[in-house]
Amino acid sequence: MSTETSSAIALTESQSRSLFEKEFVPHLDAMYNFALRLTNDEDDAHDLVQDTCMRAFRFIGSFEPGTYAKAWLFRILKNNFINDYRKKSRGPSKVEFEWVEQSFAGDDDPEPAFQADLKAETVNEMLGDEITTAIQALPVDFRMIIILCDLEEFSYEEMAKILNIPIGTVRSRLHRARAFLKETLASYAEKKGYKTDMLSA
Amino acid sequence: MKTNCSHQSDCLKLIQRILDKEATAEEESTFLANKDQCLPCKEGHELELALRKALKSSCHSKCPSSLIDSLRLKISSILLLILLLIPLFCWFI
């Protein structure tokens, strides 16, 4: 409690309250969505967003109004997830994450050898649930970067800061994540018989 | 229309940079002017657009109002605690 006290003391009560309403509340839907995609669990997402907001609030006195609060909050959320929630996460996602770190951590890794044979029409025909399942099946590093880029529309530079990786790694990780997603969707489409006639071998 | 693209991997990267708003205006206009002459590039562009659209329409959830209320309550209690602690602290010294 002392940290909260000492840093929030720099602002008056009404200033703190209005900063919270103005800078935090507009991003809560996006933060909750990100937390839910990372944890795959509503209760964990709830706790993760709550912890992130309280952690950010401790430093609200040092927040400069006018700077991009969303990127700042997402960075805290991601750090919080890596430090606290990943430890708690169940076996498979941990293995998944380690596998990604080993296989895709470097910029010098070879390009994905495959390009999934997937057509826009097939994607358009898929149901929302099928897309969500494919996203959830991605290794967490890939899921994270795809959500930050395609859903939240952060720039490469902002993603580099949020994820604490060089901008070159942002580019290569995104490219690999998308190749992985397309491959997952293509094999799913084939199994389900979506436009199989259009999927040439 | 070309049915084979000799630099498909580079084109795909460019398509992604264009949709991510990270390409220069020149790169974008050159690509858009030429994409209809190359089938793999045209289809690649359509697929990337379809994927983004599908993600946007299927992967969103709203923050529960109970969570927003609980955050407001927590913040109010911290602020109240500060208001109480300051006079107490002053009184002690």
pLDDT digits (tens, 9 = 90+) for B46-57: 999 999 999 999
- Regarding predicted confidence, which is higher, A87 or A25? A25
Asked if A149 and B77 touch (Cβ cutoff 8 Å), the reply is no
Please give the structure tokens belonging to residue A158.
Answer: 């902002």
| Residue B73 shares a structural domain with residue B28 | no
| Residue B10 shares a structural domain with residue B34 | yes
Q: Is A13 on the interface with B (CB under 8 A)?
A: yes
| Residue B3 shares a structural domain with residue B38 | yes
| Residue B55 shares a structural domain with residue B71 | no
- Regarding predicted confidence, which is higher, A68 or B39? B39
| Residue B70 shares a structural domain with residue B57 | no
- Regarding predicted confidence, which is higher, A149 or A57? A149
Indicate the number of domains in chain B.
2
- Regarding predicted confidence, which is higher, A142 or A193? A142
Q: What is the DSSP string of A157-181?
A: HHHHHHHTS-HHHHHHHHHHHHHHH
Which of B8, B13, B75 is the closest to A57 by Cβ? Answer: B75
**Within the 53-82 window of chain A, which residues sit less than 8 Å (CB to CB) from chain B?**
53-54, 57
Amino acid at A138: L
8 Å CB contact of A132 and B22: no
pLDDT at A196: 45
pLDDT at B70: 93
Per-residue pLDDT tens digits for A127-137: 888 899 999 99
pLDDT at A105 over 60: no
Residue of B nearest to A48 (CA): B67
Distance CA A22, CA A16 (A): 10
The boundaries of the domain holding residue B3 are: 1-61
In this prediction, residue A37 has a pLDDT band, given cuts at 50, 70 and 90, of very high
| Residue B49 shares a structural domain with residue B87 | no
Residue of A nearest to B49 (CA): A120
Asked if A47 and A84 touch (Cβ cutoff 8 Å), the reply is no
pLDDT at B6: 78
- The whole-chain average pLDDT of chain A stands at 79
- Regarding predicted confidence, which is higher, B5 or A98? B5
- Among residues A151, A124, A125, A123, the alpha carbon closest in space to that of A36 is found at A151
| Residue B45 shares a structural domain with residue B85 | no
DSSP letter at B22? -
pLDDT at A53: 93
Amino acid at B13: K
Please give the structure tokens belonging to residue A181.
Answer: 């997603």
| Residue B87 shares a structural domain with residue B49 | no
Amino acid at B59: C
pLDDT at A87: 66
| Residue B25 shares a structural domain with residue B44 | yes
pLDDT at A96 over 70: no
Please give the structure tokens belonging to residue B86.
Answer: 């300051």
Asked if A32 and A45 touch (Cβ cutoff 8 Å), the reply is yes
pLDDT at A11: 63
| Residue B52 shares a structural domain with residue B19 | yes
Residues 6 or more apart in contact with residue A112 via CB below 8 angstroms: A175, A176, A179, A180
Residues lower than pLDDT 70 in chain B: 93
Q: Which burial class, exposed, middle or buried, applies to B6 when counting CB atoms under 10 A from its CB (0-12, 13-18, 19+)?
A: exposed
Which of B9, B51, B67 is the closest to A46 by Cβ? Answer: B67
pLDDT at A117 over 90: no
What b/e string do you get for B23-51 counting C-beta neighbours within 10 Å, with b at 16 or more?
Answer: beeeeeeebeeebeebebbbbbbbbbebb
Distance CA A64, CA A6 (A): 17
pLDDT at A116: 66
In this prediction, residue A114 has a pLDDT band, given cuts at 50, 70 and 90, of low
| Residue B57 shares a structural domain with residue B70 | no
Distance CA A14, CA B75 (A): 11
| Residue B74 shares a structural domain with residue B54 | no
pLDDT at A157 over 80: yes
Mean predicted confidence (pLDDT) in A152-160: 95
Mean predicted confidence (pLDDT) in A134-153: 94
Residue of A nearest to B45 (CA): A120
The interface predicted TM-score (ipTM) is: 0.84
Mean predicted confidence (pLDDT) in A2-17: 60
pTM of structure:
0.81
φ, ψ dihedrals at A50, nearest 5°: -60, -50
